[in-house]
Amino acid sequence: MNAAEELKQALPASVVSTGMQVEKPLVLVKKEDLLEVAAKVKEMGFDHLSVVTGVDYVDRFEVIYNFFSYGKKENLVLKVVLDHEAPEVGSLTSLWKGADWLERETYDLVGVRFTGHPNLTRILLPEGWKGHPLRKDYDMSVEQFVTIGEDGEDIVSTDGSNLLRRK
């Protein structure tokens, strides 16, 4: 029995389906129950959260968590499907501290909100940036200009008014 089936047996109400993703057990989880499932996953020995990926499928968002267990040397993939209007899912920062920046990055670039995250701010792009670049409907024709202000914080504008030498 692989880890995905084990998880399904333990929490049958929270698991939508199980499968494989190129030799790695994959579990599709109900988004409301993610935290509960993740706690169980950690209890099962998956102590390494490898990566958090957000994908925009135009009609929905998917957030994918890749886990690894140092003890059992096994992989596990969790996946949640979020609706496109208001993508929101629970944050895993209370279980894995490493999730902090990975979730911030997913929020920054894909625009998925992680509820319960202690500091959900942009990480790679400056605060004030418009839009989330990795969304498929992101408008790349709009130029955005970034400068560093007097207090060291970033200033973003779309007309270049913050630049010393205007366009």
Partner 1 sequence: METEELLINMGPVHPSTHGVLRFKLRMDGEIIKECTVVMGYLHRGTEKLAEMKTYLQFIPYTDRLDYISAMPNNYAYVKAVEELAGIEVPLRAEYIRVLTVELNRIVNHLVFMGSLLLDLGASTAIMYGFREREKALQLYEMLCGARMTFSYFRIGGVRDDLPDDFMSKLNEFIKDMEKRIEDYKGLINGNEIFMMRMKGIGVISAEEAINYGMTGPSLRGSGVNYDIRKIEPYSIYPDLDFKACVRPECDSYARYMVRIDEMEESLHILRQIADTIPKSEVVATQKYGIAPLTGMPYTAQTYFPRIFIPPAGEAYSRIEAPKGELGFYVVSDGTTKPYRVKIRSPSFCNLTAIPKMVVGLKIPDLIAAFGTIDVVLGDVDR
For binding to partner 1 (CB under 8 A), which residues are involved?
21-22, 24, 47-51, 53, 55-56, 64, 66, 70, 73, 77, 96-102, 105, 109, 122-126, 133-134, 138, 152
Cα(115)–Cα(108) distance, integer angstroms:
14
Of 8, 22, 27, which is closest to residue 76 (Cα–Cα)? 27
Give the Å distances, CA to CA, from 112 to 30, 34, 88, 91, 109: 16, 14, 6, 11, 8
CB of 130: closest distance to partner 1 in angstroms? Answer: 15
CB of 83: closest distance to partner 1 in angstroms? Answer: 18
Cα(111)–Cα(83) distance, integer angstroms:
12
CB of 160: closest distance to partner 1 in angstroms? Answer: 19
Q: Are 109 and 60 in contact (CB under 8 A)?
A: no
Tell me whether residue 12 or residue 43 sits nearer to partner 1 (CB atom): 43
In the chain, % helix, strand, coil (3-state, to 5) comes to 20, 35, 45
CB of 13: closest distance to partner 1 in angstroms? Answer: 26
Tell me whether residue 50 or residue 157 sits nearer to partner 1 (CB atom): 50
Cα(125)–Cα(111) distance, integer angstroms:
12
Tell me whether residue 32 or residue 127 sits nearer to partner 1 (CB atom): 127
Tell me whether residue 15 or residue 77 sits nearer to partner 1 (CB atom): 77
